[in-house]
Amino acid sequence: MTSFITAAELGKLVRDPKKKAGADYLVVDVRDSDYPVGHIPGALNVPAHEMYQRAGEIISNYSHVPVVVFHCMLSQQRGPKSARIYRDIVQERLRIAPADSPLLDQKIQVLDRGFAGWVDAFLESEPSLIEGFNQEEWDSL
């Protein structure tokens, strides 16, 4: 089952100098045309329409990562659907994986309220937690 993580909880991971994106956690941003407005530092951009084709690649490259967080703009459709696709493919791989596979312990989560919630939480208080933020494009969404 996929669970939700709040912006505050994910923010602790992202700002922790002992934690590294792609090693200690992975943020998968599944936005497409709305990605250039800004993103979470260290996020991997895999548009939702590519998730089924690229989930295997993500699993191969990041199976050692203990927490994988998916999100889109609001995490109501694209983010949760992408997390389900990823989870289903992980489950398929686990059928043939060794008993000590790190995938067994990988936590798959969805960012509650998505990137919009992230911006609400950090734009004013910690703008460094939003890379490439474009206010003009944000306002036009």
Residue 21 to residue 118: CA distance in whole angstroms = 17
Give pLDDT, residue 136. Answer: 93
pLDDT > 80? residue 77: yes
Structure token pair of residue 37: 């407005």
- Please give the model's pTM, rounded to 2 decimal places: 0.95
pLDDT > 90? residue 98: no
Residue 129 to residue 122: CA distance in whole angstroms = 7
**pLDDT tens profile 42-55:** 999 999 999 999 99
Can you say whether residue 38 is alpha, beta or left, with left for phi > 0 and alpha for psi between -120 and 50 degrees? left
